[in-house]
Amino acid sequence: MKCAFITGITGQDGSFLAELLLSKGYKVAGLVSGKHDIGDQNIRSFKHKLILETGDLLDKKSLEKIIIKHKPQEIYNLGGITFIPTSWEKPELTFNVNALAVARILELIRKHCPKTKFFQASSAKIFGRPKITPQNEQTPIDPLDPYSTSKAAAHFLVRNYRNHFSMFCCSGIMYNHESEKRGLEFVTRKITYGAARIKLNRQKELVLGDLKVKLDWGYAPDYVEAMYLMLQQKKADDYILSSGKLHSVEDVCRTAFSQLSLDWKKFVKTDKKYFRKEDVYQLWGDNSKAKKILKWQPKVSFEQMIKKMVEYDYKMLKDLSS
């Protein structure tokens, strides 16, 4: 039986990946903090099938103990700080968790289990202000904030270890991917949750930033399938993981509110304080390499994804009141 170790197992991607690997007959171990985890509800239905190990990405000793214990065939590093405003508030912590932790794990693999395959969750934000649209794996890396800088450092570390030590390690350069498990601080979930609250008369309006901003949005379960496929290849490499399509924040509003038979224009307001300078740069991924080599194809459309999120939020909120 193959063993996989997942950091960030209680998060959106980690929980979906854990479910996928369990369905394929893997033994799945995951890193948890030991405190009450805010993402615990994401794994509640199959928690009994997991091996949850207490540790911390900042603590090399705890990571070493886990890796020696399980000697996993695959490690997926999905943990870390993912919200850009937080990275400005805590830049040192962001770099420690998102970049130095990758160095720790790679060194532990090299020392204890050099045949282990490693996946790093990279981000399209590493491209900063891309001059090439859509972006591909050769697009220059030019980060704009502490979050994307930490991700860029981790991205280069993975490449360094792959080239210098011939280790099987790779980065999935992931564009925005959403789901019912997405945090409420992210705009898609803010919209679907807000629309559901408005439908249930618990909220009168939804205040957002620039509605014209366009992003490459995909469905998270599709992306974790690509992560798995990357580690099943004979050769390690980096891949763009994206939907390959652009949609605006306005498109999210229109789709979400129409699912609830509401006119979004009557409820959505904008406020300049939510506008972000970096939002004007178009991050749009060319996923042709992943399609060709991994035989990967996003299955859930943008509209289907937003509808799933709205249905989940509406049912959850309605059930809470009953």
pLDDT digits (tens, 9 = 90+) for 140-156: 999 999 999 999 999 99
How many Cβ atoms are within 10 Å of 33's Cβ, its own excluded? Answer: 13
- Counting residues of the chain whose pLDDT is more than 90, the rounded percentage is 89
Higher per-residue pLDDT: 9 or 183: 9
**Does position 125 have pLDDT exceeding 90, yes or no?**
yes
Residue 144 main-chain phi, psi, to 5 deg: -110, -10
Give me the sign of the Cα torsion angle 269, 274, 276, 281: negative
| Strand residues in the chain grouped as ranges (E) | 3-7, 27-32, 51-54, 74-77, 117-123, 169-174, 177-178, 206-208, 214-215, 218-219, 239-241, 247-248, 268-270
- Note the pLDDT of residue 132: 87
Other Cβ atoms within 10 Å of 83 Cβ, number: 13
Helix (H, G, I), strand (E, B) or coil at 156: helix
Classified as helix, coil or strand, 7 is: strand
Average pLDDT over the chain, rounded to an integer: 95
- Domains of the chain and CATH, by start: 3-175+220-241 (3.40.50.720), 178-216+245-284+302-321 (3.90.25.10)
With a pLDDT cut of 70, the percent of the chain lying above it is 97
- Contact (CB, 8 A) for 179 and 16: yes
Longest Cα–Cα distance in the chain? 59
Lowest mean pLDDT among 32-36, 119-123, 191-195, 266-270: 32-36
Mean pLDDT is lowest, of 84-98, 153-167, 218-232, 288-302, for: 84-98
Q: Which pLDDT score, from 0 to 100, does residue 278 have?
A: 62
Torsional sign, CA 133, 136, 120, 148: negative
Whether the pLDDT of residue 10 is over 60: the answer is yes
pLDDT at 40: 84
Strands 239-241 and 169-174: parallel
CB atoms within 10 A of CB 7: 26
pTM score, whole prediction: 0.94
> What pLDDT is recorded for position 77?
99
Give residue 35's pLDDT band: very low, low, confident or very high (50, 70, 90).
Answer: low
DSSP 8-class letter at 265: G
Alpha carbon 167 to chain centroid, angstroms:
24
Yes or no: say if 59 and 81 are a contact pair by the CB < 8 Å rule.
no
Both tokens of 61, joined, read: 């000793």
Q: Is the model's pLDDT at 269 over the cut of 70?
A: yes
Residue linked to tokens 């509406």:
314
- Return the structure tokens found at 165: 């030590």
Question: What number is the average pLDDT over the span 52-80?
Answer: 97
Residue-level pLDDT at 273: 83
Q: Provide the pLDDT for residue 8.
A: 96
